[in-house]
Amino acid sequence: MKLKPETTEKIDKLVPRYPVKRSAALPLCHLVQEDQGYLSNEAVEWIAERLELEPINIQELVTFYPMLRTEPTGKYHVRVCRTLPCALAGAYQTCRKLEEALDVAVGHTSEDGLATLEFVECHADCGKAPVVMVGEDEYTGIDVEKALEMAEKMKSGTLPTGLEVHTEA
């Protein structure tokens, strides 16, 4: 598996900071997922070997933690908060609008690969509900109208994917 040099550098710096190597498992899953877009079997095996663990020790994390994924997302990874405070502010309507505008069912990636739409649990910004995340960027107060605007911007490619910032940092 080929990782970007900056990922390898981050991993090499991170692992020795932990008193026990295995503690670096979740951080490594994040770093490799950010590098590759998702965690393939090969990635799972690579992380396990790097930490002197068995692949199952990593696989059980991948299947437990909702943010770890085994498939790539579309260009835009859209996560709408579903939980009660957002729902009281209209999150279900927001999500249905995004489904319709992006022509994608919740939990799936659109056929053209433009967007993956997920309905997820609380993002902890309930005072500005409904909350939508695109990649690592947060958008607040997304009612049906704003959802439509966001979808249009995704289609025209003018909305940031929310991954740019991270690459810079």
Partner 1 sequence: MKHVDEPGYSNDIDCYIRNGGYEDLKKAFAMKPEDICAEVMESGVRGRGGAGFPAGMKWKFLDRKSGKPIYLVCNADESEPGTFKDRQIIHQDPHQLIEGMICSAYAVGAKLAFIYIRGEFFEGYRILERAIEEARAKNFLGDNILGSDYSCDIIVHRGAGAYICGEETGLIESLEGNRANPRIKPPYFPAALGLYQCPTIVNNVETLCDVKHVVSMGGAEFAKIGTPGNTGTRTWCVSGHVMKPGFYEFACADLTLGELIYDVCGGLRPGRSLKAVIPGGSSAKVLRADERFTGKLKNGTAFDWGIGDIPMDFDSLMACGSMSGSGGVIVMDDSTDIVEALANINYFYAHESCGQCTPCREGVPWMRKITARMVAGEAREEDADLLNSIADQIAGRTICAFGEAASWPVQSFIAKFKDEFVEKAREQAARRKEGKDAAKETVLI
Of positions 13, 16, 64, 111, contacts partner 1 by CB under 8 A: 64
Token pair recorded at residue 105: 């069912």
Of positions 9, 112, 127, 145, contacts partner 1 by CB under 8 A: 127
Question: Can residue 35 be called a binding residue for partner 1 (CB under 8 A)?
Answer: no
**Binding-site string for partner 1 from residue 1 to residue 20, where x marks contact by CB under 8 A and - marks none:** ----------------xxxx
- Return the amino acid letter for 71: E
Of positions 7, 27, 35, 153, contacts partner 1 by CB under 8 A: 27
Token pair recorded at residue 14: 């991170």
Q: 77-106: which residues touch partner 1 (CB under 8 A)?
A: 82-85, 87-90, 92-93
Q: What are phi and psi of 103, to 5 degrees?
A: 55, 55
Q: What are phi and psi of 134, to 5 degrees?
A: -120, 115
Of positions 32, 43, 133, 151, contacts partner 1 by CB under 8 A: 133
Within 23-138, residue ranges assigned H as helices are 25-36, 41-50, 55-62, 84-88, 91-102
